Amino acid sequence: GRVFLRGQYYDEERKNGTPQQTNDTRIGLGALGLDFGSAERGRTTIRAWGSSQLYHQSFSAIAADRSREDLTRLQRVPADALGLSAQWTRPLGARHRLLIGAEARHVSGTTEEQAIARGAVTSFVEAGGEETGAALYAQDLIQLHPRLVATASLRFDAWRLRDARS
């Protein structure tokens, strides 16, 4: 068997040519995995993962004579995702293999924008929502010849969108 844990973090900040035009991105990812079983009785793999990210950007207008910069828009975009999968595979003879699996995920995201004129917020726009999905699948592989494999598979997917807003 095997167990693993993996993490990753990304952080970036940039200036976009003027003091008020900036953007930054932060992304965190994590995964946990488990593999166990035997080739004769079947191997199982389980994976769980998640991510979180935040993107921020500001926009501005520059006066024609380049004497002034005015902030015109602020944008913030958070998003999160979680997932889980499990798979089992087993040989059913020397040339025959069965695979069965399931997976699920949940994703949510929002974009938040503020329009600014003459230093005051004039409007606020928010859009976003959530998606949840799941799947079940099975696959049967038969090696008919060293260079020919027959595959039969079946997959069922379901998903739901919620809290969509703008």
Closest alpha carbon to 86 in 32, 143, 28: 32
The tens digit of pLDDT for each residue in 108-136 reads 999 999 999 988 999 999 999 999 999 99
- Contact predicate 98/142, CB 8 Å: no
Closest alpha carbon to 131 in 81, 77, 78: 81
Where would I find the H helices in 1-78? none
Per-residue model confidence (pLDDT) at position 88: 97
Give the rounded percent of residues in the chain with a pLDDT score beyond 70: 100
Cα–Cα distances (Å) from 89 to 36, 38, 137, in that order, read 11, 10, 12
The tens digit of pLDDT for each residue in 30-74 reads 999 999 999 888 999 999 999 999 999 999 999 899 889 999 999
Average pLDDT value for residue range 3-24: 92
Give the pLDDT band of residue 107 (cuts 50, 70, 90).
Answer: very high
Closest alpha carbon to 97 in 35, 152, 157, 17: 152
